[in-house]
Every structure is written in C-alpha cells, then in structure tokens.
Amino acid sequence: MPNTPHTDGPDAMFAAVFKEALRRRGLPLDRVRDHLESYGITLSLATLSYWQSGRSLPEKPQSLRAVDVLEPFLGLPSGALRSLLRRRPRGWVPQHDPAAVRDVYGENSVVEQVLGDAFPYFNAGLRRLVVHEAVNVNEHRLVDEIRVTTAVRAVRDDVRHLTVIHTLDAARDGAVDLVVPHGPPPSVRSRPELNSVIAEIPLGRRLARNETAVVEYTLRAAATEGVSHHHERRITAPLRTYLLQVRFHPSAVPSRCWHYYRGHLGAEPRNRQLAPLDGFRTAHLLPMKCPPGAYGMEWQWTD
C-alpha cells in the first residue's frame, strides 16, 4: 500500500495527488523548489515535504500561486490540485512549523546552540505581525545599539512572554545589556562564546488566542574592537511589515549601502539594491507582506 497521510477528506486527497504526481514525474523536492523560484516564488523544502505528507496545506497567497504554477509542471490539468484545497474560516492560523524554523536558520545554527532542544518550538505561541528595528553603528564601525518594537498576536491561550535572541559582531569583547522601557526586567542570559544574548521578555499581560501585544526593547553592547558589515533578521513565518533603519556615526560613514533578501539559508541574496543614505546618515529597508527568509542591509567601508 502507498504511504499516504493518515487523515480523511480533501486534506489527505491533496497530499496523495501531489505525492503521486511527484513520483510519476520523478521530481525531487529540490527540483520543485528551484522551478518555483524561477517564477519568483520562494518556498522551503520543509514546506513542500509537509504538503506531500499531509501535515500542512497551501494557505497563503504565495502558496496558492505556487499550486497554480505546479499543476502544469507536474502534468496535471488546471485546477486539479487547487480544487482539493478547502476554504478555511476567517481568522484561521496555520500551526507552528518546526521544520520551517530550521530551514530559515539552518542546521546547528547559533540560535539552535543557544536554545538546545527548545529551538524548533521557541515562540510557537506567538506570531509576529510588524517588526521595526533601529540599528546604530558607532565611531568604531561596530553595531552597538539595536532598538526593536514588534507587534505580536497570540495563536493559543495563556502566552506570557516573547523570546528574543541576538548575535552581535563582538559581544565577547564587552558587556551586553538588554533593557525594556516599561514593565518588569526581562530574563537575560549571555553566551559570549557564541557572541549572543537571549532574553525572555514578559508581555504586559497573559494573552488569550488572537489577542495582540506590543513589545519594545533595546540591546546595547560596549565592545570597541571588530567591524560590522551588515545587519540581518531571519523571519520564520510571514510578516506584514518589516522596517530596518541603520544609522551611522559621522566619523564612520560607509561608501555604499545595499539591502537584500535571501529565501533560505545558503542562498545568494536576491533583490539586492542600493540603499542611499539620507541627510542623517541613515539608510532603511521597508518590505511589505514579507515571506519567510532573511532580510538585511550590508555596507562597504572605504578602507
């Protein structure tokens, strides 16, 4: 008997048809991923694997577009896969996908080393909606301050804190402080051997499912040795808006700045574009409706 998902109805049927079409055409998932990328659609191997096993279904607009692109590629009639996707009720939120988290961060990443066995499930109860980061580069050409404001929505009841992890270019050379402007202080642990700091930031109250909260914090580093060349944020679930601002000290202004996007770990940057500095020596990145991946800004020093 073929190995089909252990569920009934349209969910199982989609997985069975998708898996059989892959088998019939002899297509590995990396070929499918590469074909989608040629259409400007970025999906992880973990996501495609979950589709064929029945553990998840295409739901987001980009995923539905991927289904439309895949039908002729798999030799299926138009609508053969799309018709098997049932409509979800308004407000339905996809479950946390540990494989997708690892796909964005990579195997044995610094974040996984910091969190250990909890890595695939950190912040599983929250979905970030909006993230604003203001990054300061000091006179030593080092990122020495990151101010973050993020809006989150609870995807289950009784969510109490947000876990944040930051890796700095020279954290081992000096103290790192993470502070919140309001409320109780966060629980902070430093991992200087990994140039990282991890904090659990209490929310203003326990959140019930679908409730939202705004979290603010500032990370400061006292290091004076080393040089920063970029700042990057990895996003493991779709984000409505990401705003990154990088401000440079008057005596440490780069010759050029670029912003970029990478669909998955190890991929070459896509959509790499010049990011001009304004009169305040600040460059910014502002993508909307961000799919998972890495968003960042890099800069070049004159010497």
- Which of these, 246, 168, 161, lies nearest to 207 by C-alpha position? 161
Highest mean pLDDT among 46-50, 98-102, 203-207, 220-224: 203-207
Helix (H) or strand (E) holding 215: strand 212-221
Q: How far apart are the first and last CA of the chain?
A: 65
- Rounded-to-integer distance, Cα 6 and Cα 183, Å: 46
Residue 56 to residues 15, 113, 125, 291: CA-CA distances in angstroms?
9, 27, 18, 17
Write the pLDDT tens digit of every residue in 141-150.
999 999 999 9
Residue 225 has pLDDT above 90, yes or no: no
Looking at residue 3, its pLDDT comes to 37
Looking at residue 193, its pLDDT comes to 76
**DSSP strands (E only) in 121-207:** 126-137, 143-154, 159-167, 176-179, 187-191, 196-207
For residue 142, give the DSSP letter: -
Identify the residue whose tokens are 């109780």: 184
pLDDT band for 269, please (50, 70, 90 cuts): confident
What is the average pLDDT value for the chain, to the nearest integer?
84
Residue 110 has pLDDT above 50, yes or no: yes
**Higher per-residue confidence, 10 vs 101:** 101
- Rounded-to-integer distance, Cα 180 and Cα 111, Å: 21
Looking at residue 292, its pLDDT comes to 84
For residue 121, give the DSSP letter: G
Looking at residue 44, its pLDDT comes to 86
Task: Give bridge partners of residue 131 from the DSSP assignment.
Answer: 150, 242
Residue 103 has pLDDT above 80, yes or no: no
- Rounded-to-integer distance, Cα 62 and Cα 53, Å: 20
pLDDT band for 170, please (50, 70, 90 cuts): low
Highest mean pLDDT among 96-100, 219-223, 279-283: 279-283
Angle at 122 between CA 116 and CA 126, to 5 degrees: 175
